[in-house]
Amino acid sequence: MSRERLSVVVTRRLPEAVETRMSELFDVRLREDDTPMTRAELVDAVKTADVLVPTLNDEIDASLIAQGSERLKLIANYGAGVDHIDVHTARQRGVLVSNTPGVLTDDTADMTMALILAVTRRIPEGLSVMQKSEWGGWAPTALLGGRIAGRRLGILGMGRIGQAVARRAAAFGMQIHYHNRRRLRPETEEELEATWWESLDQMVSRMDVISVNCPSTPSTFHLMNARRLKLMKPSSVIVNTSRGEVIDENALTRMIRASEIAGAGLDVYEHGINVNPRLRELPNVVLLPHMGSATLEGRIEMGEKVIINIKTFGDGHRPPDQVVPAML
């Protein structure tokens, strides 16, 4: 790269500290209002920038990448998941892609535990009683949930976040099981006291809680489809802090309504903000607006990762968090 400052376009408002640092380092165009860019704005961005900094709300597909000018060389995603970016096409056109792994692991794992507890201990129902001033005092049979200690947790996707969930859940006394494309090393399995299931079907049918922690890829689309959801025990619950596309949301909704699954805690949805309206009506379903990584610390660290990726690239090296198609 030349010694000139890189021209960087950021598609969304970022924490102030991150925007300030970017302005010091790059010729950066920041977003003024906190709304996603329109398609036309994205097209303009890829035509004019050396580096695009998108978020998971931006569809960086083949057609958008094809409209990029020769100078577009890096897509430095603000986030870990890259399912909204056509990494293959970017590579073919010589555009590098990087992401921000690692820094949102603990926050997302914390939120996974929060959802497991919220669903099994009926926290939103308790909150609602208090907010509506309906509390008549302690009662031996009021709002009884289930104890999580001793329950079997099946983690679907045992990467960084899955393992962080395992550590937390073990501290709560849960028994850890997992399904992952690749089995963990024996010493990691031993440390986590985790049992590997080669067959997802078999794991799903024996668990009390399923936690979805795998990325969204063509091979994980509807991994929890209607057939597999049917294998879950009627007393079991499912939580998802990864990507909505991994679960068939309509099938899940139908089954919870039919009491074939005991509940769900969801932070992500198959169709983004278009959440199945029936899900919202269910008392045993806890819905959050994709806030698994939403801590100020985490979001600043994500920004720092983006900056390091851009700077390293600008200095003529491979960005440390480069994503290559083989990783997906």
Binding site for ligand DGY (CB under 6 A): 56, 79-81, 104, 292-293
Between residues 73 and 243, which has the closer beta carbon with respect to ligand DGY?
243
Between residues 112 and 293, which has the closer beta carbon with respect to ligand DGY?
293
Between residues 112 and 236, which has the closer beta carbon with respect to ligand DGY?
112
Between residues 173 and 289, which has the closer beta carbon with respect to ligand DGY?
289
| 238 close to 264: Cβ distance less than 8 angstroms | yes
Rounded CA-CA distance 115/123 in Å is 9
What's the Cα-to-Cα distance from 222 to each of 84, 161, 327, rounded to whole Å? 17, 20, 20
Integer Rg of the chain from CA: 21
Number of Cβ within a 10 Å radius of residue 285: 23
Rounded CA-CA distance 116/123 in Å is 10
Tell me how far, at minimum, the Cβ of 292 lies from ligand DGY, in Å. 5
| 266 close to 240: Cβ distance less than 8 angstroms | yes
Spatial CB neighbours of 204, under 8 Å, sequence gap ≥ 6: 154, 210, 224, 228, 231, 232
Tell me how far, at minimum, the Cβ of 197 lies from ligand DGY, in Å. 25
Between residues 203 and 224, which has the closer beta carbon with respect to ligand DGY?
224
Between residues 112 and 120, which has the closer beta carbon with respect to ligand DGY?
112
Alpha helix (H) residue ranges in 26-100: 39-48, 62-66, 87-92
Which segments of 47-159 are extended strands (E)? 51-53, 74-76, 96-98, 152-156
Tell me how far, at minimum, the Cβ of 219 lies from ligand DGY, in Å. 18
Rounded CA-CA distance 200/118 in Å is 25
Nearest alpha carbon to residue 182 among 165, 163, 208, 207: 163
Rounded CA-CA distance 47/118 in Å is 46
Between residues 81 and 263, which has the closer beta carbon with respect to ligand DGY?
81
